[in-house]
Amino acid sequence: MNLVLAKTETGRALSDIFAVARDRLPGAGLIADARQQAFEAYERAGLPHRRIEEWKYTDLRGLMREVLPLAAAPDAAALKRADAALKLHAIEGVRRLVLVDGVFVPNLSDASKLETGLSIRTLREKLEADDTSELFECDGSDAMAALNRAMMTDGLVIEVADGVALATPLHIIHIASAAQPAATFTRSLLKIGKNASATLVESYIAAEGAKSYQVHDSLVLAIGDGTRLDHVRLVEDGREAFNISSAVVTLGAHAHFNTFGMTTGSSVSRYQATIVCAGEGSRVETNGVNLLNGRQHADTTLFLDHAVPNCASREIFRAVVDDRGHSVFQGRIVVRPKAQKTDAKMMTRALLLSDDAEADNKPELEIFADDVTCGHGATTGALDESLLFYLRARGLSEKEAQALLIQAFVGEAIEQITNDDLRELAIAAALRWLEARS
């Protein structure tokens, strides 16, 4: 009875939020109709809960409880705070594309003097042009994806032409600056043509004063035949934030997708990605690290669909959990009946630093073909006491010894980042986490 009442009250509150925000949302006509349909799809399902298998370990009805009102467009004070936060997370040699409180900010971005074959425009522009293609599809029937479709305000629409190798990485930076609790809804699309290459970085950070906020983000990637995309994703949100993000990736023939994600921020985060090998000979390398303490909860859920023959995938995931943190990894690999000669492997390991830390690892294989090489594994344990004793016997403090072992533990995943500067960026984020627990 209590669950039904809570769902009704939450649904009514969100209906009011949607009604109030509707006039602020870009797009009319077909766009407005599609938004309404997406919102109705969300209302039918409501916030995901533990009875839904994919959300078994991340019950948003209990953890998040409600969706906050849409954040206001950033004013001058908010932009000033965002600029200060941006300087602390600046990366040299990248093209910055900055979203503040869910709104693209040209003055903080590098969207001019584009390389030949590169096109960048905002999602708001695409929505206001009544272009519904690619905007209300591709991310399935998940309730949170439907909510993102209904409420999305802005994002980036990026296209890379055939044969273009981008020399400068693209860096999409999400900054929360609102002083009051609020939610942002963003969506970005990246389409890369044939025989091209690019690097995409995503960062989630908070400006000073931003605390209890929610991020609802979605990313759609289309990777053409013979193309390579390197993707790095860093979640360093404020410790009271919620980050619910999704990605849908489609690979063409002989395409290569290398992705790395690290979560050190947010109170509760959930990253769900669907990766489809749609062209023969494609390869996927997906790597991730959760570094958690306090009462942080971080969920990484990956669905890898081998739909055609002769494709390969590798998944490496590491979690380090301290205090009463909770890490979740769900990795599901499906090999379709026609996907012969598939080579797929998945390994997840968790390191628990306290008796109250928790890690749930759930690797799955569904194989409907008979000529494949597939495997998965999962381990959970504590730091090796003999190694700690060895290091401490050589003059290191307990925290210093632990830090060295933790760096070695997560190093296998971080080393998969091919760009030297971005690898150093991930290492720096890990070191910040290690220093904070000292």
Indicate whether 318 pLDDT > 60: yes
- The pLDDT tens digits for 96-136 are 999 999 999 999 999 989 999 999 999 999 998 876 655 66
Greatest extent of the chain over all pairs of C-alpha atoms, in Å:
71
**Cα–Cα distance between 170 and 347 in angstroms, integer?**
29
Per the CB < 8 A criterion, the answer to whether 38 and 147 are in contact is: yes
**Cα–Cα distance between 316 and 416 in angstroms, integer?**
9
Percent of the chain with pLDDT over 90: 71
Per the CB < 8 A criterion, the answer to whether 296 and 325 are in contact is: yes
The pLDDT-based confidence of 1 (bands split at 50, 70, 90) is: very low
The pLDDT-based confidence of 141 (bands split at 50, 70, 90) is: low
The pLDDT-based confidence of 354 (bands split at 50, 70, 90) is: very high
Q: What is the pLDDT of residue 134?
A: 58
Per the CB < 8 A criterion, the answer to whether 253 and 280 are in contact is: yes
371-410 core/surface letters (b: 16 or more CB in 10 A; e: else): ebebebebebeebeeeebeebeeeeeeeeebbbebbeebb
The pLDDT-based confidence of 34 (bands split at 50, 70, 90) is: confident
Indicate whether 139 pLDDT > 90: no
| Choice among 10-14, 105-109, 249-253, 311-315 with the minimum mean pLDDT | 10-14
Q: What is the pLDDT of residue 425?
A: 86
**Cα–Cα distance between 199 and 222 in angstroms, integer?**
13
CA distances from 53 to 18, 49, 170, 307 (A): 28, 9, 35, 23
Indicate whether 24 pLDDT > 50: yes
Question: Which has more confidence, 132 or 297?
Answer: 297
